[in-house]
Amino acid sequence: MAELALIAGFDAGQTHTSCRLSEVNSPVVLAEGEGPGVCHLAAPDGPSRFRRALQASLDNACGQLKAQGQLRAAAIGASGVEVGSPVQSSAQALAAEALGLALPHVVVTGDERTALRGAMGNHRAGIVVISGTGTIAVGRNAAGVEHRCAGWGWLLDGAGSAMDLGRDGLALSLEMADGRRPESPLRARIWAGLGLAADDPEAAQAIKALVVTPEFGPAGFARLAPLVVAAAAEDDPTASAVVERSALALARMVATISQRLELVAPPVWPMGGALEHLELLRSQLAAHLEILCPGARLLPPAGDACSGALNLARDCLNNP
């Protein structure tokens, strides 16, 4: 049997890395494998974790193939990679070495760019807006020019994210506890989600200690987002204001990108856990877009970040 000529598309996130394999001239996915997550390449263990994530997920995928194959090109969408930065250049060199490929046959970019490429399908222009633990939006026009908004890290720029939804709801619940804000059902709902009773006099101090533990972090706040949205769906005014603020932040990202790229009535692909699972957030985003970006329409993405990475890998092989 002839050896397969393969391309690989990677989606390298902070919790895990996915690798998808396809033949050079075929859109059919042959195998998919998982590996560990990555961290910022500038972190002390960043390079070793990046290399390990790529190699482990590729080995896992190759183990599922029914024939021998040779990797010809690869593209990686990775968390924390900024386009045009020294980190991007370092990551490309590291990926080429880890995968045994020539430098021109490797693309490393931010995972928002591979998400955009996967979402677009046959569209020549559009915008992807991602709300998960963090948030970012990026768009592309028919000339191939791209522009991004947000995504500058949870400490600086989390508006519209699940992390912000959860953190803002929790912060407001503490204002209720000490009397600065009128009581609402939001406090009891969130505190119960943390295993605490609203009438426990020690609960607020327990929350203060909990949120600074290393294992809590942005993901800990993000886990509270569904509780805030559920309270808003029951017409809790405090929770409703939090959700509306996040939806407006997402709509402003889309509108800014649309204006910068001179897009008219662009397709918008919502992605990320918050927009996929929190219906109220998505519907409020659509409502704000009607005002800020008339004609913009929310569409289901054609594919995911791994499929977008495969497309980029195929492009770099066809256009050396």
pLDDT by residue (tens digit) across 203-227? 999 999 999 999 999 999 999 999 9
Does pTM top 0.85 for this prediction? Answer: yes
Q: What percentage of the chain reaches a pLDDT higher than 90?
A: 84
Torsion sign over Cα 275, 279, 283, 284: negative
Torsion sign over Cα 95, 99, 101, 106: negative
E-state strands within 16-170: 16-23, 29-36, 69-78, 106-110, 126-131, 135-140, 146-150
Instruction: Give 318's pLDDT tier (boundaries 50, 70, 90).
Output: confident
Nearest 5°: the CA angle 154, 155, 157 is 60
- CA 164 to chain CA mean position, Å: 14
Distance CA 138, CA 208 (A): 35
Asked if residues 197 and 256 have their Cβ atoms less than 8 Å apart, the reply is: no
Structure tokens at 161: 């994210």
Distance CA 296, CA 166 (A): 28
pLDDT above 70 (res 2): no
Domains of the chain and CATH, by start: 4-120+304-318 (3.30.420.40), 125-300 (3.30.420.40)
Tell me the pLDDT tens digit for each residue of 167-209: 999 999 999 999 999 999 999 999 999 999 999 999 999 999 9
